[in-house]
Amino acid sequence: MKTRLRRIALWLIGGLVLAFALLCLPYDPPRWTASEISEKVDLLNENSAVTTPHLKLGKKTREANLELFEKVERGDELTSEESATYRVLYQSILKDKQAELKLLDKQLTVLTDFRPAEKNNVGTLGIEGAHDHHDSSAAENLAALRRDLQQLEQANGMTASVTRVRSALGAYKNLTDIIEHMGTAPQTKSVPNEPEAPVDELQRLFEAMMVHYKLAQFEPVNSPAYVAEVHQALDSYDALVALVQDRVYGHLGPLERSLSGRWCTWRSLAPSLGSVPNHRMPRKARD
């Protein structure tokens, strides 16, 4: 009996050692290069703006308005009237799935009857009803990202390594959640937003991104002006990713980097991007 229990214990220990070893693969992964970051950012933006809302969350709405939604997916420029119609429909998809989306991101911020006297981008006033206010949700993610980085950089004591790995994963998730909120913004009904004075480099890059995403909201979908604004927003987000990556890598050792992985991987709950197309509005390749 003792021999059998000893054998079982050895198998369990061996299994745990193997599982830990697998978690460490790849060992000490290198930082993403600038071109790799841009490639992933383009796919994240497209996934947030079109692939997930059109093909997963809003299948019925898309089927009922197939010609309009396919124009957006192809990258065809919409007229001002088509853009207004599309943005109202798109807003309804997010509203219908609000409860499900809240489960995936605790920073998601729901506001009701927002700025009812202010002109919006679809020819009416305000944003009626309860909706995910992307600007506020992304700002909450930025605040959480800042806290994660502070915890990572100030970790000490016996549990410092665990804190650094956990904080790195949290930072990566909040960084991804920012673009998942703002990637949808140019497709939705919205009102203008005034940028805040930045308190650090994180917020400087965040506010630069926000300015261009918000300007894109008031341009016809897929128009040259819309594409130019989104591209500038993505350029700022690229820089934000590089900054966060540098701060994380600067405080984690090789084994800790192996456990946390790189930004935009399954370890930090990033979405799968393998089936996301990138033909609608790709940026030029960069070094």
Residue 181: CB partners within 8 Å, gap ≥ 6?
Answer: 48, 105, 108, 132, 134, 137, 138, 141
Angle at 231 between CA 226 and CA 232, to 5 degrees: 100
Question: Can you tell me the distance from the alpha carbon of 119 to that of 218, in angstroms, rounded to the nearest whole number?
Answer: 11
Question: Residue 104: its pLDDT value, please?
Answer: 58
Longest dimension (CA), the chain: 78
Question: Can you tell me the distance from the alpha carbon of 259 to that of 127, in angstroms, rounded to the nearest whole number?
Answer: 43
Question: Residue 284: its pLDDT value, please?
Answer: 73
pTM for the whole structure:
0.88
Question: Can you tell me the distance from the alpha carbon of 92 to that of 240, in angstroms, rounded to the nearest whole number?
Answer: 30
| 214 neighbors 197 (Cβ within 8 angstroms) | no
Tokens of 271: 């979405």
Residue 84: CB partners within 8 Å, gap ≥ 6?
Answer: 121, 122, 123
Question: Can you tell me the distance from the alpha carbon of 91 to that of 45, in angstroms, rounded to the nearest whole number?
Answer: 17
| 140 neighbors 109 (Cβ within 8 angstroms) | yes
Cβ neighbour number for residue 269 with a 10 Å cutoff: 13
Cβ neighbour number for residue 235 with a 10 Å cutoff: 17
Distances (CA, A) of 14 to 3, 11, 24: 16, 5, 15
Tens-level pLDDT at each residue, the chain (287 residues): 556 655 555 555 544 444 444 455 567 899 999 999 999 999 999 999 999 999 998 999 999 999 999 999 999 999 999 999 999 999 888 887 666 665 655 666 655 556 666 787 767 756 665 555 678 889 999 999 999 999 999 999 999 999 999 999 999 999 999 999 999 999 998 878 778 888 999 999 999 999 999 999 999 999 999 999 999 999 999 999 999 999 999 999 999 999 999 999 998 889 989 889 888 998 975 54
β pairing state of 125-132 and 110-119: antiparallel
Phi, psi of 198 (to 5 degrees): -70, 145
